[in-house]
């Protein structure tokens, strides 16, 4: 079974800096102030300017006890999507953090990783479309979205915040190692990022043979429901048929009974 170490941020951390909690199982790297960030330029009132980091993001584990009731697991404004902790990254100035972890698996096996990320800017609009960027990479597969794309999404059912779920698929190479990297680039500061409940699904085994995925299990369940419905209809038809035969037999019996009457 291929798994991600600490995918829901419940397994503790070490302090990498005074305000940087590095979640166990993950490597935290941050763009030093003054250096260009991953997306090297940004929009600024119709101009394109360098996207430079100005500070280091604070990285903190938020426990459910530190959140109001309506931001806890299962609530309409939940910041925790699994367990009792969520990871928060934020700062008041332009900044970029990168979280990475190595996943090991059988060479040739294909996997799908889903990474829920929430980005909320506290700046007063109108904001540039690239106010922030979130990039999720697995092996060579990349999904990247900017602020404008992310604020149109509601990817967590029952949650009114703009959670996004990034989906990347990759096949384990010969060395059996895939690196998962999540990059949070805040071009102007004052963005709150949250990450929680990263999941991994095996799509094939090492020989490329498909494994039952969530989607295929849903399809199977749907087919079973349809089959059960069809069976119920047939049984009703049979029941109706039996009723007709009984009614016919009653009529015959009555007719015979009538004819025997002197
Ligand atoms: Ca969690």
Q: Show the beta-strand stretches assigned E in the chain.
A: 13-17, 20-23, 27-30, 36-44, 47-52, 58-63, 85-91, 95-104, 110-121, 132-138, 141-146, 163-171, 177-186, 191-195, 199-202
Could you give the percent of the chain with pLDDT greater than 70?
Answer: 98
CA 84 to centroid of ligand 1, rounded, Å: 5
Output the pLDDT for position 126: 93
In this structure, which residues have their CB less than 5 angstroms from ion ligand 1?
8-9, 82-83, 85, 196
At residue 261, does pLDDT exceed 60? no
Do 89 and 172 touch, CB atoms closer than 8 A? no
Q: pLDDT by residue (tens digit) across 84-133?
A: 999 999 999 999 999 999 999 999 999 999 999 999 999 998 999 999 99
C-alpha–C-alpha distance, residues 71 and 88, integer Å: 13
CA 230 to centroid of ligand 1, rounded, Å: 42
CB within 8 A of 221, min separation 6: which ones?
none
Buried-exposed string 231-255: b where 16+ CB fall within 10 A, e elsewhere: eeeeeeeeeeeeeeeeeeeeeeeee
Instruction: Indicate if the alpha-carbon torsion angle 49, 52, 58, 64 is positive or negative.
Output: positive
Q: pLDDT by residue (tens digit) across 201-253?
A: 999 999 999 988 777 788 888 888 888 988 998 999 999 988 989 998 898 88
At residue 173, does pLDDT exceed 90? yes
> What number is the average pLDDT over the span 63-81?
97
CA 211 to centroid of ligand 1, rounded, Å: 27
Output the pLDDT for position 76: 97
Output the pLDDT for position 22: 98
> What number is the average pLDDT over the span 47-70?
98
Mean pLDDT, the chain, rounded, equals 95
Q: What is the pTM of this model?
A: 0.83
Output the pLDDT for position 259: 67
**DSSP line for 156-173:** STT--S-EEEEEEEEE--
CA 196 to centroid of ligand 1, rounded, Å: 5
CA 10 to centroid of ligand 1, rounded, Å: 6
Instruction: Report CA dihedral (7, 11, 12, 17) to the nearest 10 degrees.
Output: -30
At residue 262, does pLDDT exceed 70? no
CA 79 to centroid of ligand 1, rounded, Å: 9
CA 67 to centroid of ligand 1, rounded, Å: 13
CA–CA distance from 234 to each of 225, 228, 229, 243, 248 (Å)? 14, 10, 9, 14, 21
Tokens 């007063």, residue located: 124
First and final C-alpha spacing in the chain: 84
CA 210 to centroid of ligand 1, rounded, Å: 29
CA 112 to centroid of ligand 1, rounded, Å: 19
C-alpha–C-alpha distance, residues 157 and 254, integer Å: 63
Name the more confident of 30 and 222.
30
At residue 36, does pLDDT exceed 70? yes
Output the pLDDT for position 175: 97
Output the pLDDT for position 260: 62
Pairing of strands 141-146, 58-63: unpaired
């Amino acid at each position: 079974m291929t798994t991600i170490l600490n995918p829901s941020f419940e397994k503790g951390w070490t302090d990498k800096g005074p305000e940087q909690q590095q979640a166990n199982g993950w490597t935290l790297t941050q763009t030093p102030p003054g250096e260009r960030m991953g997306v090297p330029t940004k929009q600024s009132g119709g101009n394109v300017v360098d996207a430079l980091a100005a500070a280091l993001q604070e990285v903190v584990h938020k426990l459910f006890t530190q959140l109001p009731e309506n931001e806890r697991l299962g609530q309409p404004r939940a910041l925790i999507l699994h367990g009792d902790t969520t990871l928060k990254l934020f700062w008041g100035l332009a900044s970029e953090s990168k979280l990475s972890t190595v996943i090991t698996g059988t060479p040739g096996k294909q996997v799908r990783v889903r990474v829920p990320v929430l980005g909320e800017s506290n700046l007063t609009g109108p904001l540039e479309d690239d106010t922030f960027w979130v990039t999720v990479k697995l092996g060579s597969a990349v999904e990247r979205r900017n602020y404008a794309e992310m604020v149109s999404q509601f990817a967590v059912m029952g949650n009114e915040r703009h959670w996004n779920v990034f989906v990347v698929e990759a096949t384990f190479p010969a060395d059996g190692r895939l690196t998962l990297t999540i990059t949070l680039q805040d071009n102007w500061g004052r963005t709150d990022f949250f990450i929680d409940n990263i999941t991994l699904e095996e799509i094939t085994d090492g020989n490329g043979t498909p494994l039952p995925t969530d989607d295929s299990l849903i399809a199977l369940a749907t087919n079973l429901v349809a089959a059960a419905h069809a069976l119920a209809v047939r049984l009703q038809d049979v029941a109706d048929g039996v009723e007709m035969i009984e009614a016919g037999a009653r009529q015959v019996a009555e007719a015979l009974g009538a004819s025997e009457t002197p």
